[in-house]
Amino acid sequence: MTTVRLPSDMEQKLETAAKTENTSKSDIIKEALEQYFSREEEKNSWELGEPYFGRYGSGDGSLSSDYKNRLKGKIGAKYHTD
């Protein structure tokens, strides 16, 4: 069993909806939760990660296209002897 505290305006709207639909407040809340869970299950990986994509950028837009040259340079510098 779960207890939920609602602001008075929400409680009034819920009570009105329950009377209008001739059902219980619990049934309305259950239906709302089912819709919420269903919507959450439908989200794909992109939607779940979207808030984090690009959040910590390097500011260098060429990293993905220039990575081979950067890697070669780093390896060459590591093994380069004077």
Domain boundaries, the chain: 8-53
Contacts of residue 4, defined as CB under 8 A and 6 or more positions apart, other chains included, come to 29
Q: Which residues of the chain have pLDDT under 50?
A: none
What is the reported pLDDT for 51?
A: 85
pTM for the model stands at 0.53
What is the reported pLDDT for 30?
A: 95
What is the reported pLDDT for 81?
A: 66
If you write DSSP's letter for every residue of 1-43 in order, what string do you get?
A: -------HHHHHHHHHHHHHHTS-HHHHHHHHHHHHHHHHHT-
What is the reported pLDDT for 61?
A: 74
